[in-house]
Structure 1
Amino acid sequence: MKFKQIFAFSVASLLLAACSATGTAFSGLEKPAEGQSKLYVYRTKAFKGGGVHFDVNANDTYIGHLRNGGYISAELPPGDYEIWAKTEVRRGVTVPLQPNEIQCVKASIGFGAFVGRPKFQHVPLEQCKAEIAGTVHSF
C-alpha cells in the first residue's frame, strides 16, 4: 500500500511541475524606451493553484501567458491600464503607467468553484525586485 501512495504523489508532483513556467531566469528590470512605460507581471512559485495558468491583458491588449513561477513584461504607452485575466471570472487591477517608469503587478491564485481565480496586486518596486528574482520568463 505504501508504494501506491508514493507513486500517486510522484505522479501528481510531476504533473504540477509540468504546469510551471519554463524559460530564461529573470535577470533584472529593464528600463523602458524614452517616453514609454514598462510593466512586469509576475507570479511567485506556489503549490496552491500551481496548475492554473492564464492569459494576461492590459486593457484590450494581450501581453502574455502567465504560469506558476513565471513573469511577463510589456512596454506600453503611458496611461491607466486594467491588468486582467479570466478563468471562471475576470479579475484585475488598475495601474497608472507614467512615462519612463517601471511598474509591477503581482499575480496569484484565489479559490474558485471549479478552477482557481486570478488575483492581481499592484506592488511597490522594491517588493517587486525582491520577489520577481526567483521567476522565469513565462511563455
Structure 2
Amino acid sequence: MAWLPAALALAGLLAGALCLAGAALAQQDAANQVSAADPAPAVIGPAPLATIHVYRTKSLMGLGVYFDVYAGDEKVCHLREGQYCTLQVPPGEVEIWSKFMTKGAVTLDVRAAQEYYVKASVTKGFFLFWRPHLVEVMERVGKGELSRCDHASE
C-alpha cells in the first residue's frame, strides 16, 4: 500500500490538468461566440467573388448556331462553338441561361473565391428546333475542355 499516496497524488494532478483544460476550452468558446447585440463585422474592401467559366466545345452538332449567354438579366457574351467566356459574380444562386429558339438554363449556388465550369452545347428540340443545353461540369473536366477553346466576344 506504499504506492497508494503516489497514485492519489497522480490522480490529483490529472484532475487538475483536466479542469484547467476544460476552463481554457470554455473561455475559447465564449470568445468565439458573438452575441446578438454585437454589430456585424465591417467588410474592408470588395467581397470575394466566384468565377464562372461558360464554354462550348467544337462540335458538328449545331455547327453555325450561336447564342448569347446571360447571368440573371445581364448579357455575358456571344458564344459560338469552340469559345468560352468568364464572369465573376457575388456568392449565392446564379442562373446561367441562353435562348436560341428555346431556353436552356442551369442554376448554380456559388461560393466566394471558387471556380465553376458550365458546358454549353446544342441539342435538337421539338420539330428540329435547336436548343441550348447548359450543364455544370467538374473542375478537371472543365479546365481540360476550356483549354481547347478561344475567348468569346462580349
TM class, shorter-length: 0.7 to 0.9
The CA deviation at 1:34 is 5.9
Report SS of the residue matched to 1:118: strand
**AA at the equivalent of 1:137:** H
- Asked whether the equivalents of residues 102 and 130 of structure 2 are also in contact (C-alpha less than 8 Å), the reply is no
Instruction: Provide Cα deviations, 1:78-97, integer angstroms capped at 9, x if missing partner.
Output: 11111100111111011111
Q: Whose relative contact order is higher, 1 or 2, with alpha carbons under 8 Å and at least 6 apart?
A: 1
Question: Which of structures 1 and 2 has the bigger CA Rg?
Answer: 2
- The one of 100, 113, 126 equivalent to 1:100 is 113
User: In the aligned structure 2, how far is the partner of 1:63 from the partner of 1:108?
Assistant: 16
The TM-score, its normalising length taken from structure 2, stands at 0.66
Aligned residues: 107
More helix by share: 2
Report SS of the residue matched to 1:129: helix
- The one of 51, 57, 66 equivalent to 1:44 is 57
- CA RMSD in angstroms comes to 1.4
Instruction: Provide Cα deviations, 1:46-88, integer angstroms capped at 9, x if missing partner.
Output: 0110110000011112111111100011111111111100111
**AA at the equivalent of 1:59:** G
- 5+ residue gaps, structure 1: 1-32
Q: Percent identity?
A: 36
User: In the aligned structure 1, how far is the partner of 2:151 from the partner of 2:81?
Assistant: 11
The TM-score, its normalising length taken from structure 1, stands at 0.73
User: In the aligned structure 1, how far is the partner of 2:108 from the partner of 2:88?
Assistant: 14
Which runs of at least 4 in structure 1 moved beyond 2 Å after TM superposition? 112-115
Instruction: Provide Cα deviations, 1:83-125, integer angstroms capped at 9, x if missing partner.
Output: 1001111110111111011101000000033542100110110
User: In the aligned structure 2, how far is the partner of 1:117 from the partner of 1:107?
Assistant: 10
Q: How does 1:1-139 map to 2 (within 5 A)?
A: 35-112=48-125, 113-139=127-153
- 5+ residue gaps, structure 2: 1-45
